[in-house]
Amino acid sequence: MDLPETTPQPKRSPLRVVRDFFRNHWRDLVLLLVFAGLIVALDQWTKALVRQHVPLYTDWLPSWLSWLAPYARIRHTFNTGAAFGLFQQGALIFAILAVVVSVLIISYFPSVSRKDWWMRLALGMQLGGALGNLVDRILRNGEVTDFISVGNFAIFNVADSCITVGVIVLVIGVWITERREARAKKNTEAPGE
């Protein structure tokens, strides 16, 4: 049995692969980058306000919310580690990790079905959070501004919140999708029994 001859495909340069990827998925990428960009803008704006108006290592709360002081406050601080102040002194490692995660999210996002809005929302929030803290690491010598203080919990920022909420949305979305698929499978098997 003779196998049909195949014409070898010419190798594409890495630049062409990237160009083709963006050409084929530009709508999805624009949506992702606009959403993540809004998160980065909100994150950087809130951090700039805190840096400008609240001295480092001090608390602030409007007087009409003073009753909240034991539970929540704005506390200006910074960290060089991961979200919520974990793994201090790892600024370079976390900057590299943020770049790697961002590239992975950008490459994976177009393959996510447009109907799977849970996953798309989660990835957009995680990308925005990763980039928000990366901007701080680059512009502030590895230091990420934190200011949201709730009870005795670690102090965090908008970017940290988006990463965390993005993970929660992802877990809930996967759970709902799996339940929906299990229900559909059960319904297709039931009539034949």
Residues marked as catalytic: 146, 160
Within 10 A of 128 (CB to CB), how many other CB atoms are there? Answer: 28
Please, are residues 52 and 115 in contact by the beta-carbon 8 Å criterion?
no
Residue 70: how many CB atoms within 10 A of its CB? 8
Q: CA–CA separation, 133 vs 43, rounded Å?
A: 8
Pairwise CA distance, residues 163 & 183, whole Å: 30
| Dist. CA 168–CA 164, nearest whole Å | 6
